[in-house]
A and B are shown apart, each in its own frame.
Chain A
Amino acid sequence: MSKQTSRAGDRIFSTTALMAGVLILVVLFSVAVFLLIQALPAFFADPSEITGGEGFWSYIWPIIVGTVIAAAIALILATPVALGVALFISHYAPRRLSQGLGYVIDLLAAIPSVIYGVWGITFLAVQLEPMYEWLAEYAGWIPIFAGPASATGKTMLTAGIVLAVMILPIITSISREIFLQTPKLHEEAALALGATRWEMIRMTVIPFGRPGVISAVMLGLGRALGETMAVALVLSTGPLILSLIQTGNSTIAAEIALNYPEAYGLRLAELIAAGLLLFIITLAVNMVARWVITRNKDFSGANA
């Protein structure tokens, strides 16, 4: 292989890589511009013509909060479990078991969201309904469990649980890969100092993996924010309410999925404006996550 050809190869590859990078930016930018142009009528329309009759912001506000609630439930439920599974696979399980388990967890990510939705509506909601009755009766004094509980079980909490199962594999598999990359020397040093296995994990694996775990959680959050089909099927939508076990609340993605097929004119603009806001929220979440990661990097030991 001569020097000449390898340089040509380099050039071709760097150009291709550059093009790929630019293409992503162009696509993202075009999406933003498209959404903005299509959404404009909704921002400037007469408030009384907007769904709900009180202007765009009072229409969109409850479903933005709903979107955040659904994603928050999913993260709160999924993150501890995912980290536990990841640590078990990377540091506790016997090798053969860990491989099988990792494979099964990854498989969860391959299930289409509509399947999760159907599972949620036909199985999970029905099973959870008695639990909601119980919560309403004995924990009803906590505002988020205020009764009367939904008789169908199609509530925000059910939707959040389905979302949690859906984002579990994303957080698990990224965290697992990160934990496995902890420098062996760190781990051995900790053990040599007399640390137990849990102390070793606390001293070396977790600090090393923190930025990676944060990005894993953010990826999961991205999926939870944007998930459409499962929520649209599972959630019995309605106005914003605090109780998670009553009928009510909605998310942006579900609102779009449920109303888009029959929407035209101003209604279409409203839905696209809702999409634009979801786009901005997701972007903001990702930027915050990046910022958190770069801030944490200095203390993680990853640069040691």
Chain B
Amino acid sequence: MGRYVLRRLLQLIPVFFGTTLLIYALVWAVPGDPFAGKCGERACPPDYIQFMTEKYHLDDPWPLQYLYYMGHLLTGDFGQTFGGRDIGEIIAQAYPNTLKLALVGLAIEAVIGLTAGILTGLRRNGFLDNLVLVSTLFLLAIPTFVSGFLLQFILGTQFKIINPTVSSEVPFHELIVPGFVLASISMAYVARLTRTSIAENSRSDYVRTAVAKGLPQRRVVGVHLFRNSLIPVLTFLGTDLGSLMGGAIITEGIFNINGIGREAYRAITTKESATVVGIVVVLVLVYLLMNLLVDLLYAALDPRIRYE
């Protein structure tokens, strides 16, 4: 087990550096003068340009800049924007909002997806089963920005049930609709995964044995069937938390949530390359660690899986 964790952590290192290098190279290559519009209506004074160029090593080739950047990053310093704000501070402010949104989305996805999946998995080919299958197809087919827009328009503007945009404190109850929008595609996936898993396991030998030795239905389903069927669903939900945070950019834009995706979009459009890379670093790191955690969780939940 220890060796496995160590090997996985070592495998993370090249992936982490590869991803950040890729993003760094791309962002660095965004054409345009980084000082354009930075000093109001006039051109920047040469002293300022010289100072900033030296401070950010803008004269060096980009691989060298990347090394400088990584050097700072490993000491926990995300650097500063051209305006002088700490990027670490920007991320620390925006990240909790994205995390909240992703958690609300995950909760909705888990509750609705699991309920639908369990109900249809136990009673296949009924009316409910077909209804859920059709609705998951629809959920898969509606892009996030369309469902976000429509729900915002219908619930927020027409019927005034919710606030069309989320207020700056980001209270949990205002995140219900955005969370639903964010998680809608994964929700369909959870429902189908649960259904398939339960349907497959209900034909398995241990379930037949449990029924044959006269266990009550509740115990067969609740203990024998569920505990084995829900393992793949739980691991999916784990990895999905990382993906939801990375994919929140559109939902945050529509519902005006001050999260990490919106900061990233703003940073890309204003050529604040350090901020973009900083945010991607955090997102990738969280995603990779979530994946590792889920793999370990898999072994803990399913004793048949052993890591050498």
Verify that A and B bind, or say they do not: no
Where the two chains meet, the residues of A that have a C-beta atom closer than 8 Å to any C-beta of B are none
